[in-house]
Structure 1
Amino acid sequence: MARDLEGFPYLEAEFAANGRLLTEPAATDVSGLVNRRTPTDLIMLVHGWNNTATVARELYRELARSLRAAAPRTAPAGRTIALYGVLWPSAKWDWFERLTGTLDALDARHGTELGIRLDGLREVFTAPEQRERLAAARALLPDLERSSTAQREFVALVRGLLPTHDAPDDDAPDQLFALDDDDLAEQLTHRLPPMADQRGDFAVPADSLLWNLAGGFLEGARRLVDFVAYYEMKERAGTVGRDGLARFLRGQVPGGVRVHLVGHSFGARLVSAAAAASGGIGARACSMTLLQGAFSHFGFASNYLPGRDGLFRPAVTSKVVTGPLLITHTRNDQLVSIAYGIASQLAGQTGADAFGPASRYGGIGANGAQNTPEVAQGTLLAAGRAYNLHPGVPHNLNADAFITNHSAVTGREVAHAILSGVAATP
């Protein structure tokens, strides 16, 4: 049944980790959603890493409130807009919050924190064999500081939670699977490099807590656990987008409705996977807005490595996205930047620009789309200012002025950009 969300008709669709639609099809029907008529435009909202539907719905409500405030000046005349909330089983990836705790807490509780993090992975890796690996890894904790054998076994157990595959991956360094257990353990004990922005200024001071964590294997083990959790959730987002949302849009949304995909964090990866899916999302006009996307800045790239395009490049080249593709990025987003700093570290890339546009493992939410010949450079504008948007073109929008951190994506400036993309979609 349709609900009201800040003055917009609103429905939800919930997906399982394998992309299966959990919501009854009858409850997802958009026909008659606006004054007993089908809306002309449907904005699909997709959350990122959080662990409850309540958190996702609050994000949607805050964004809907800003969309309602921006609509009188920005929404296209003569068109009717409805909202659709997508729910999918993401897990909260909270290692950054733990990194910003006190030195004393980190020093005293290294092993304890690692155990808690391993316990948290039980919510992500649920197969019996995976649970056995986690239990075995936890049993090794008392010996990790002094036993190289325990360290090697720990690396093998945690890394073995992930399936190996030969498909190109923009996000994960080959070394995650190519290094032997001893070499990977050694690589992980190196400290993360300072994070520099495009102008060479340190976005995080080099002498801050973030860069002065105690080294040693325990710290490297925590980083391995965190990156494995990240890797698994990014895979899940891709699966739900490709096998869930894309199929849903092809089968459940009438062909005459313009669809506008809006994804935050891992949700940006999810909608990008849907747009790049084989078969697309159906013959309909579409814009896409990626709010602090948590995937590679080469996601839409052309030939970023010899013979290799970005995983989501078909979303651009197939013209599935017929409206503008808007990409917010900011140096303020330390969460995305640091995630890719870990990837850079695994690959042995430890220079000061390991987080930036020149990095092999940079994030699109930090740097925008790189090596993408079609991209137009711009900024996130204040509400009411006019954009010059082009249908079918990716637009990097520098959001330093308005997006202060990874989750600050519900303001009126963001809503104004989304509605400007709606208005520019033919």
Structure 2
Amino acid sequence: MVIRHIPERPDLSYHLIHYDKNGDELPEGTDKLGSTAARSALAAPGSGITDVFLLSHGWNSDVEGAMQQYDAWLTMSRETRPSNLGRPFSPLIIGVHWPSKAWGDDTIISTDPVGLLGGEATPTGVITVEDAVDMYSTMLVDSLDTRDALGAIFDAAADPGGHAAMTDTVRRAYLILYRELHLEEARNEDPIPAAAWDPAKAFEQALEDTDKESGLLSGDSIFDRVRDAILAPLRQLSFWTMKARALTFGENGAAKLLRDLQNETDESVRFHLMGHSFGSIVVSAAVAGTDGITSVRPVSSLFLVQGALSLWAYAGTVPEEANPGHFHRIIQEEIVRGPIVTTRSTYDYAVGRFYPLGAGIAGEVLLGDLPRYGGLGAFGIQGVKGAHDVAIGDETTNYGLKPGGIYNIDASSVISKVSGPGGAHSDITHPATAALAWQAALAMP
């Protein structure tokens, strides 16, 4: 699929471009690349394109999930489009898909020698240990040690009993999995401290969380709670694995796509990037590029929705750290000509809880009044001068966004619908957030 036509909305479509986990583009059909079609549409004589929108989904999205998010966002954006844009406007919209699926909600069950449940078909919403091992080793890293470790973890989750402590077998399995994922060596915009992660501590933290609204533990019985606590460290490892993958994809596939598209246009065409969750890492990396390789010219706006990246990622100086934030050159070199807008919410548990828990150091390291390990979707961009902290309004609110400004929008009153372990992390499609995106895109005259 090169062009996605939104069902029941014939007036809405967008280019959908697929990539593998290394940031290499995947062909559509017989060697046909989605990026080639997008570039051709942009460069076609008489296309009249004035604005290019580049969108990235975040954590835990397969292709269907990415399309659902893009469909919903673009539909809401169309419904909140201002009646008077103040200038000519003809958009080209591109959504990228990168493999970020890292977690499912199926219940893991074991099998007996004669087959699942005495030979019955697998019930809806459950998965066998064997199938879970196949699925998650493919998502994370496929090796014999990974498979053995996952097998031990899923066996324990399928029959957890009432243990109040993580067994030695499961703890050893997690340490093997941690080693196989090479997280201490992975490039990451906010590296995990060496030896900071302890699966037993992650288990205990999850088991002690009795806040039912958080969704971190989904069941009411001790059986359900122990089962979910056994899997809590895997969710944390998955979180950090996909976080590193987002940076790899952003600095490779997404950055190349942005440069190629800009090379097809002149300076009159505005580029706007929006990322949700780890997609905020993707679009930040696409703009910042790597040493010596950045975007062709500054982009016109950057919208980071519930960003699962460090609150210090844009800082020129990080307190008590020798190095600046990974994306500090975006501010230093003024690579975004228009506004940089972020949203944050106290109901986003994926960023507010999983982010620091992923390093196993929740509440242990503070830099002044702020944590060393905290997400942008919980705190906004920190460590930069002149950032504006503003509460979200409704679709009629005028935020007065200015070119070059940084705006941290507290959207807790809107991004608030708690659903599962991530809380309101994906509750982003609202008239108020779409109207905010329009103002960011139209801030440049």
Judge same fold: TM > 0.5, yes or no. Answer: yes
Deviates more, 1:28-37 or 1:17-26: 28-37
1:307 matched to which residue of 2?
322
Superposition deviation, residue 400 in structure 1: 1.6
1:258 is aligned to 2:270: yes
Letter in 2 for 1:318: E
CA contact (8 A) 2:53 2:93 kept: yes
Superposition deviation, residue 302 in structure 1: 3.2
Cα 1:184–1:57 shift into 2, 3 Å: closer
1:381 matched to which residue of 2?
393
1:71 is aligned to 2:90: no
Q: In 2, distance between residues paired with 1:166 and 1:132?
A: 18
Q: How do residues 14-163 of structure 1 correspond to structure 2 at under 5 angstroms?
A: 14-23=18-27, 24=33, 25-31=35-41, 36-73=46-83, 75-94=85-104, 120-127=135-142, 129=143, 131-139=144-152, 141=155, 150-163=169-182
Using structure 1 for the length normalisation, give the TM-score: 0.79
Superposition deviation, residue 379 in structure 1: 2.5
Cα 1:117–1:395 shift into 2, 3 Å: farther
Superposition deviation, residue 226 in structure 1: 1.4
Q: In 1, distance between residues paired with 2:438 and 2:295?
A: 20
Match of 1:236 among 227, 230, 245: 245
Deviates more, 1:59-68 or 1:303-312: 303-312
Deviates more, 1:65-74 or 1:3-12: 3-12
Q: In 2, distance between residues paired with 1:234 and 1:336?
A: 12
Superposition deviation, residue 186 in structure 1: 4.5
Unaligned runs of 5+ in 1: 99-111, 196-201
Match of 2:195 among 178, 194, 216: 178
2:120 matched to which residue of 1?
none
Q: Which has the higher contact order (CA 8 A, sep 6+)?
A: 1
CA contact (8 A) 1:117 1:225 kept: no
1:416 matched to which residue of 2?
435
Cα 1:325–1:343 shift into 2, 3 Å: same
In percent, how many aligned pairs have the same letter? 24
Cα 1:37–1:2 shift into 2, 3 Å: farther
CA contact (8 A) 2:271 2:299 kept: yes
Match of 1:328 among 339, 343, 349: 343
Letter in 2 for 1:135: D
Cα 1:385–1:186 shift into 2, 3 Å: closer
Letter in 2 for 1:178: A
CA contact (8 A) 1:285 1:425 kept: no
Match of 2:357 among 338, 342, 348: 342
Q: In 1, distance between residues paired with 2:129 and 2:230?
A: 8
CA contact (8 A) 1:337 1:363 kept: yes
1:199 matched to which residue of 2?
none
Alignment deviations for residues 314-334 of structure 1 (CA, whole Å, 9 cap, x no partner) = 222221111111101111212
Deviates more, 1:379-388 or 1:398-407: 379-388
Superposition deviation, residue 10 in structure 1: 2.4
Cα 1:185–1:242 shift into 2, 3 Å: closer
Cα 1:151–1:46 shift into 2, 3 Å: closer
Cα 1:243–1:158 shift into 2, 3 Å: same
CA contact (8 A) 1:255 1:282 kept: no
Cα 1:58–1:164 shift into 2, 3 Å: closer
Letter in 1 for 2:288: A
Superposition deviation, residue 92 in structure 1: 4.4
Letter in 1 for 2:239: Y
1:294 is aligned to 2:308: yes
Q: Aligned pair count?
A: 396
Q: In 2, distance between residues paired with 1:208 and 1:290?
A: 24
Superposition deviation, residue 249 in structure 1: 1.3
Cα 1:13–1:59 shift into 2, 3 Å: same
Q: In 1, distance between residues paired with 2:304 and 2:335?
A: 15
Superposition deviation, residue 135 in structure 1: 2.1
CA contact (8 A) 1:42 1:83 kept: yes
